[in-house]
Chains A and B, each alone.
Chain A
């Protein structure tokens, strides 16, 4: 789908474009195909092999440090869901497209399915579970409820975390900035109208009119 160039202004901290840039750099370092042999040689000395068996991994999740024994190939998402029972981050596409696994890493939204748990060591990880509780919702969560920015709810935690990252940087985003900031998350039920008004709309109800 088209997006005009203006929409790509980095207003939200971490965009899909940043992610792609990051991936390209990563590919260059590990494969050497893009950057040539020099880059590969330069990268060699810093490479440490881990595994293939389980290795100790320490993760800082929601303000708590936890030591796990994980195979190096375990993603941050699987570590959260299967080893820490933090199942609010969802597994949907499992390859960095849909955003249902979005967590904050040092305050930036990232796809937990596309980061290895061993890479996330030393970083501050915040998941949906660190925001509000059912009894005391975070204001963003309350707005999602009020504006019905959810249906089946499977994509919702990812959207809430991405929305938090956006609003932390830009507390009063325009519609275009919202569409850009949440452009890395997908929903199948079609809750975008509610999400849009949740982020635009304060506490007023969505109403039957335009969205």
Chain B
């Protein structure tokens, strides 16, 4: 068995370099086929009758007129008379027709009557919620006693509102039956897991389901499940005996396809005059759909020894929340880091000093945070630009700085890689993984090419199909660790076999060989070599196929990262408009495989964070229970002119590389809300307690704080 490990820094030709993504050309030319782009012969299109109420019972349903319409090929009643519907835009009837427009006409021809029931959709005020599920209070240490020792205390009320995933490619799929086999082109984060989910819903063997996802247009945690629309799409295709496409229209996408739950909290903190925190007490509540919400991890990162926390879950008449990039971390980070910043203001201290003073409570990453805070402070010129809260001059536009830190796990998931070396020297890796745009394909290719000493264009990476060896779903920053480890093990296994075949020709034992520069060569004697092609021919007529898996032997991956962010904002106190002038992210993620796509992950996370910090919010009308901004004009994500200057600094080299590969997708999206909120408070002298910090909320906070 080979010794599984990553090459040393001076032996890395590709790993850690800035390498363009392998599927870049196919995407920029528009030739990448996403699920939404699959056009099959005779394919039908789906439209859906949806519940216009937030809570209602179906009392009458008549689909006969729709069924009789020309062009309508299948009508599925998903929820029939008597069913109680728990959220708006829930699916009632699905119609497959020869065009979307005809399907839409048929939707209008369906007659539904409802008994409208009382609903509850917003939960800002805990005492107004009709149904509250309190969790047990968690007490650590002796907070009641330490509160008495606090020299300074602060109290705060904070709330982060619900945001959607708003994937550019909506949820959905194309389903087509070939005899008993279902082919399903799904926009999914987990292609290997889909056959079992289809099988469960359709009562067919999982072995007869073939899921495909070569390219997908964003998931962010919302696309792990086949969903009711996946099952019903397959049923429509079966009934119509034709391929069926069902992609969610934007309003449904924003309303029912998942969101990040809201959280509110009241937080009290106490500290010594030197900034050492001695007391934490939080009471939080939040929504998450009919099932309520889990507790945010409070306090976040800082595990103060004496603390207590209680969470109240509030069920609502909204579609269930789903994992949203770093589930619960952005909210917990916002609630915690704002409270600490408010404490720093009460202490009249620089918040960076307060963070440093309390790093002892952050656990294993304390030194990383300290190093990162120093780098971040230099990059944003913290010492030069920071001023005490609100001391930002007399003009209407105020500037301020904010800071936050975050953590994430990122351990690689289960992954299998089948690797084939063909006698002509070509190489292919197959994994039942998927590339969400994070660079998965590219990472696999880099690991293969690096291990074989080949250029990147000499290896082929094939993913996005449930018929390839199973690999985990892409969520929780688990993919890069999983696929890089399984691919590395497969490639090292392949090399071991190849070395054994070539060693006699080169006259050394196999363990004296290495694969470098397109050759198999003797270590320390590169002139004694055999070109890769010639070596590959030694596998004989039958290609050499080996396997690699994760988890497995050798230290290739790890978990647990720390990152810090800082932002400088300007706030127009006359209009309430917040603008990010500059934002800095300093992030570790162990050994980086592709620095270019890793940096893109961080840039993207900062931009997504600016979005949820300033503009993005699902606005739910308490009267109708409907989402008021189920479109992209008013569900606002920023444009290219709204992001300011961004700086990314990745922690690499000794102390980081030897930890192995750790996932990166989630951590940098955690801090932006806290960073920007803190910068706004620093600028205008009062806390805007809500995220996003929209102009109306800024103006309200200024007025309440006597600063208007």
Q: Which A residues are within 8 Å of any B CB, using their own CB? A: 1-3, 7, 71, 73-74, 78, 81-82, 85-95, 97-98, 100, 127-129, 131-134, 137, 141, 144-146, 148, 150-157, 160, 176, 178-180, 182-196, 205-211
Q: Is the CB of B166 within 8 A of A188?
A: yes
Q: Which B residues are within 8 Å of any A CB, using their own CB? A: 18, 20-21, 23-34, 36-37, 39, 45, 99-101, 166-170, 215-218, 220, 247, 249-250, 436-438, 572, 575, 577, 579, 595-597, 599-601, 603-608, 611, 614-615, 631-633, 636-643, 645-650
A156-B28, A157-B30, A211-B646 known; A87 vs B37 contact (CB < 8 Å): yes
- Tell me, in angstroms, the Cα distance from A77 to B632 when the chains sit together: 17
Most chain B CB within a 10 A radius of its CB, from A78, A98, A127, A192? A192
Q: Which of B24, B604, B611 is close to A145, meaning CB atoms less than 8 Å apart?
A: B24
Q: Which of B30, B595, B632 is close to A129, meaning CB atoms less than 8 Å apart?
A: B30
B168's nearest neighbour on chain A, judged by CB, is A154
A155 to chain B, nearest CB (A): 5
> Which residues from chain B contact A74 at a C-beta distance below 8 Å?
99, 101
A134-B25, A134-B26 known; A153 vs B31 contact (CB < 8 Å): no
B338 to chain A, nearest CB (A): 22
Most chain A CB within a 10 A radius of its CB, from B30, B101, B247, B636? B30
Q: Is the CB of B216 within 8 A of A205?
A: no
> Which residues from chain B contact A91 at a C-beta distance below 8 Å?
36, 247
Q: Is the CB of A190 within 8 A of B603?
A: yes
B607's nearest neighbour on chain A, judged by CB, is A190
A91's nearest neighbour on chain B, judged by CB, is B36
Q: Which of A82, A157, A190 is close to B605, meaning CB atoms less than 8 Å apart?
A: A190
Q: Is the CB of A137 within 8 A of B101?
A: no
Q: Which of A89, A94, A128 is close to B250, meaning CB atoms less than 8 Å apart?
A: A94
Q: Is the CB of B633 within 8 A of A97?
A: yes
B582's nearest neighbour on chain A, judged by CB, is A210
Q: Is the CB of A88 within 8 A of B169?
A: no
Most chain A CB within a 10 A radius of its CB, from B23, B34, B604, B640? B640
> Which residues from chain A contact B611 at a C-beta distance below 8 Å?
190
**16 A-B pairs with C-beta separation under 8 A:** A1-B614, A1-B615, A92-B169, A97-B633, A98-B168, A148-B20, A150-B437, A154-B167, A156-B27, A157-B30, A176-B641, A183-B639, A186-B639, A187-B168, A190-B605, A193-B646
- Tell me, in angstroms, the Cα distance from A151 to B215 when the chains sit together: 11
A88-B30, A154-B169, A189-B604 known; A93 vs B632 contact (CB < 8 Å): yes
Given A90-B37, A145-B28, A210-B646, 18 additional A-B pairs, CB 8 A = A95-B633, A97-B631, A128-B30, A137-B28, A146-B20, A148-B597, A152-B168, A152-B436, A179-B639, A183-B641, A187-B607, A190-B605, A190-B611, A191-B603, A193-B603, A196-B640, A205-B596, A210-B647
A84's nearest neighbour on chain B, judged by CB, is B39
> Which residues from chain B contact A210 at a C-beta distance below 8 Å?
645-647
